[in-house]
A and B are shown apart, each in its own frame.
Chain A
Amino acid sequence: MLRHEVIIVGGGLAGLRAAIELCDKYDVALISKVYPLRSHSVAAQGGINAALGNNPEGRDDSWEKHMFDTVKGSDFLADQNAVEIMCKDAPRAIYELEHWGCPFSRFPDGSIAQRPFGGAGFPRTCYSADLTGHVLLHTLFERAISKRLKVYSEWYVLSLVSDGSMCHGIVAFDLIRGEIVPILAKATLFATGGYGRVYYYSTNALINTGSGIGIAYKAGVPLKDMEFVQFHPTGLVGTNILMTEACRGEGGYLINRLGERFMERYAPKAMELAPRDIVSRSIQREIEEGRGFDHPLGKCVHLDLRHLGEKKIMERLPGIRRICLDFLGIDPVYEPIPVMPCQHYSMGGIDTNEKAETPLSGFFAAGECACVSVHGANRLGGNSLLETVVFGRIASHSIEAYLSERDVKPDEKLLEEERKKVEKKIERLTGGGKEKPAKIQLELSKIMSQYVGIFRTKDELEFALGKILEAKERYRSVGISSKKKHMNYELMSALELEFMLEVAHTIALGAYLREESRGAHFRRDKEERDDSKWLKHTVMTIDREGNPSVSYKDVVITRYPPEERAY
C-alpha cells in the first residue's frame, strides 16, 4: 500500500494546475493512465478565453461581457456564481500561464493575440496558432517538472474508496508491472477528463473513456447534467479529428451542396460563429434535408478556408492543414474540408460546487470530468481550457482548506477491502467469459451516436436505454484473452467498459427525462425551452441496487435572468 497526503488523478491541464499549487506544501502524487503529455488536453486547438481586450476590435471587452456570453451560451443553465468566478479570474490565469513560459501567438504590439470564437461578442480567445492545448499542457508540465512533482505514469485508477461520507483514497493498477496498488490519501482530486469515446463519432482521444466519472458515480458521488453532450460542428469525415472553431473564427465558411452559406437560414447575424449547438443542428438539418455532400467516408458539408489565402492558413491554422494532408490527403489552401458534427465535450460530470468540492468529503473534481456548472447546456469554445486552469487552482485551495481544518485519518482497512474487490473483478474478467469488451463498446458507442445524439426523441431514447441495459447485462459475461496482467490493454479496456456503461446510462436517462430542448439537448418532440419546469440541474446518484436515482437542483441565477436565446 502506498500513502500520500494528496492524490491527483489526471495529468491533463486541470490535474497539473492543481498539483503545481499543492506540491510545495504537501506530499502530492499525480496519477495518470498515460504519460501526462499524452493527455487529451494536448489536442486542444483553437484557444482559451479571457477578456484581456488586446484585440483592436475588442478593447471594450470586460469580464461581465464574457460572463454574459457564457451564460447565454449555456442557455441559462450555468450557475452564475461559478461563471462569475471563472470570467473574473480569466485574465490572471492567462498572465500566469504566460509568465510560466506559455508561447502564445502575439499581436504586432507584443501583446497576447486574441481571435473571435463562436457565441462571443468580442474577440477574446487567446491562442498559439492552432496548437493551444499543446503549448498549455507543455507549459504546465514544465512547471511541474521544475517543482519535481511525483508522477505515477501509466497507472489506471480503478476505484475510489469511500465510507459513505468520507474519501480514503483509491485503488490503482500499475500497467507496466501488472500490480493492483491501493493508495491511501487524505484528499483525492479527480481531473480525469471527458467521456467522448462513449460515442462512435467523437473528436476525442482514444483514452477518453470517462472512467473517472463512472468510478466516482459507482462510489456514490452524484453526477450532474449528464444529458448535456456537446457536438462539435466540424469533425473531419472518417477519422472525426477536430477542425477547430478557429477555422471559422479566422473567417472560414460552411457551405452546402448548393453552394449556399446555409448558416444564413439559422443564425443570420452570427452566421458561422453561432454557438456550437446551433451550428451542429444546422449542419445536421442540411444533411438530413439532402443538401449535404456524399463523401465516400460519410455525409458531410464543406468547411471552406480557401478565401483566407495560403499565408493566413499557414500562419494561423498550420496544424489544421497538416491534419488534412496527413489524414485525408487534401490541402485546405486549395480544397474545401469535408466535415460533420461529432461528439466533442462533456458538459455534465461529477457534481461539484464552485469550490470544486463534491458531496463526498475529501473528494474533489475539476476540469472536464466535473460539472460545476460553468457551461450549463452548451459550452462556448475556449471556455473549457479556461475552466481547467481556473478550477484546477481553486480545487487546490479547497484541498488546502480541507487539510488544514481537520485531522484526516484515512482507513487502511477500507483500502484493503477495496483491493480485494478489484482483484475479484479481474479474476472474473479473465475467467473465460465469451463476450469481447471491444465489441460491446463498439455497439454501445453506435447506439449513443445514433439515438442519443444531436436530435433526440422520447421513443429513440427509450430504445437506447433498453440497449444500454442489455449491454450492461452482457458485460457480466465479458472475458479477455490473457490472464497476464502487465501491459494488458485489453484488460484495461474491459475494466473501463464497466464505467463507460454507467456513463452512457446516465446520459441517456437524463435525456429521456428532460422533456424540453435546451442548449445541446434537443428533443424533436419538445422543441421549446421550458423554464417553468426545467430550469434546473439533473442530479443522479447510484442506489443500492446499482440503478440511478434522479433528483433535481436549482440553477444559481445572480445577474442575468433567462431570456430568449437568438444569434
Chain B
Amino acid sequence: MKEGEIYTFKIFRYDSFEPEKPPSFQTFKVRVVPGLTVLMVLLRIRDEIDGTLSFRSSCRSAVCGSCAMVINGKIDLACRTQVYKFEDRTIVLEPLPNMEIIKDLVVDMTPFWSAYEKVKPYLMRFSPSPEKEIPQSEEERKRIDQFVNCILCACCYGACPVVSRDPDYLGPHAFAKLERFFSDSRDERPPEELIHLDNVHGLWGCDTVLKCIEACPKDVRPTDSIVSLRKRLLKYRILGKR
C-alpha cells in the first residue's frame, strides 16, 4: 500500500497537424499512491516518460476549469479526480467530446467561447450608478449563487447531446451564464435579449435530459437555467415585459 499500486493509463493520442495518422491510445504504467490525482499522473508522464503528451492545466485545485476530459467514460476535471477511487486498475483518458481535437487531450474551445460571448455575459445597467455599492439583499445574492459558481470548464458542453447533433446550439454553459445575469437583482437587461434565442439552436433545443447537471463539477444546474429562461421568454411574449 505504501509504495502504491501499478495502474495502467490508456491515453488518447492524436495530432491535428498530422491528420493522416489515425488517433490511437498509448499505454503508460504508473505507480499510484493515495492522494494522487489524474492530473498529477498526467504531469508525471509528461515530465518523466513522454514529453510530447499535450493537455491543459493551471490551478490544480478545481477552480480554473482547464483540465476537463473524459475519465473512464465520465467527464470531470482531471485535477479533482483521485486515481485511487477507481476499482479497475486501468484508466482511460480521452479529450472532451463535441469539439475538434487539436492534440491529444487538448480540444479547440472556440465554439464554446463564442457561444458564451453571444449571450452578452456581463452586467447590463442603464440607471446611473450610486456613489457606493448598488444595494442587494442577502436573499437576492443567494439567488445567483449557483450560476456564479460556474467556472466555464466545458464539462457540460462536452456532455450535451444537443451540442453533439447541432453544432449551432449555444450550449448549457451559455444559458447558465445568461440566467446568472437575468436573475441578478442589479441587471437591467432588456427582455428583447431573449428573442434571438427563441428557436431550436437556442432555448428550445434542450432535451432536458440533465446530462449537463450530471457532468458539472461545481454543482451548477444548467437545465434549471434553461427552464427559467423559457419562462422568462414566455412571460415576455405574453406580457411584453421582463
Contacts and interface: CB of A to CB of B under 8 A. Distances in A.
Interface stretch (A61-69, A320-328, A530-538): A320-328
A2 interface: no
Nearest first, the 3 closest Cβ-Cβ pairs linking A and B are A101-B123, A110-B135, A438-B47
A37 B152 contact: yes
B109 A42 contact: no
A547 interface: no
Interface of B is mostly: loop
A232 B141 CA distance: 30
A103 B65 contact: no
Given A99-B129, A106-B136, A481-B52, A42 B59 contact: yes
A123 to B, nearest CB: 16
B138 interface: yes
B61 interface: yes
Interface string A69-100: 00000000000000000000000001100111
Interface string B48-62: 101111111111111
Given A143-B122, A481-B50, A482-B51, A323 B62 contact: yes
A142 B148 CA distance: 12
Interface in A14-69: 34-35, 37-40, 42-43, 52
30 contacts: A34-B66, A39-B64, A40-B58, A40-B64, A42-B59, A42-B63, A43-B59, A101-B187, A106-B136, A106-B137, A108-B137, A109-B135, A111-B133, A128-B148, A131-B148, A139-B123, A143-B122, A146-B120, A146-B122, A176-B102, A178-B17, A205-B60, A206-B43, A436-B47, A436-B51, A438-B46, A484-B17, A487-B54, A489-B53, A489-B55
B134 A99 contact: yes
A486 interface: yes
B93 to A, nearest CB: 16
Interface in A146-161: 146
Contacts of A323: 61-62
Given A40-B59, A146-B122, A95 B133 contact: yes
Interface in A293-330: 297, 319, 322-323, 326-329
Given A38-B59, A436-B47, A487 B122 contact: no
Interface string B74-117: 00000010100000000000000000001110100100010001
A480 B37 CA distance: 25
B63 A43 contact: yes
B134 A98 contact: yes
A98 B184 CA distance: 12
Nearest to A143: B122
Contact of A103 (B64, B132, B184): B184
Contacts of B120: 146
B151 A105 contact: no
B121 interface: yes
B15, B129, B136, B181 — most chain A CB neighbours (10 Å):
B136
B148 A135 contact: yes
Interface string A480-513: 1110101111100000000000000000000000
B51 A490 contact: yes
Nearest to A490: B51
A241 B60 contact: yes
Contact of B46 (A128, A142, A297, A490): A490
A239 interface: yes
A37 B64 contact: yes
Interface in B138-197: 138, 140-141, 144, 148-149, 151-152, 181, 184, 186-187
A206 B67 CA distance: 12
B35 interface: yes
B122 A110 contact: no
Contacts of B82: 326-327, 329
B57 A206 contact: yes
Given A103-B144, A207-B57, A328-B35, 9 more contacts: A98-B134, A101-B123, A106-B140, A297-B35, A327-B61, A438-B47, A442-B47, A481-B50, A486-B17
B125 interface: yes
A271 interface: no
A281 interface: no
B229 to A, nearest CB: 18
A101 B186 contact: yes
Contacts of A205: 58-60, 64
Nearest to A207: B58
A490 B64 contact: no
B131 interface: yes
A566 interface: no
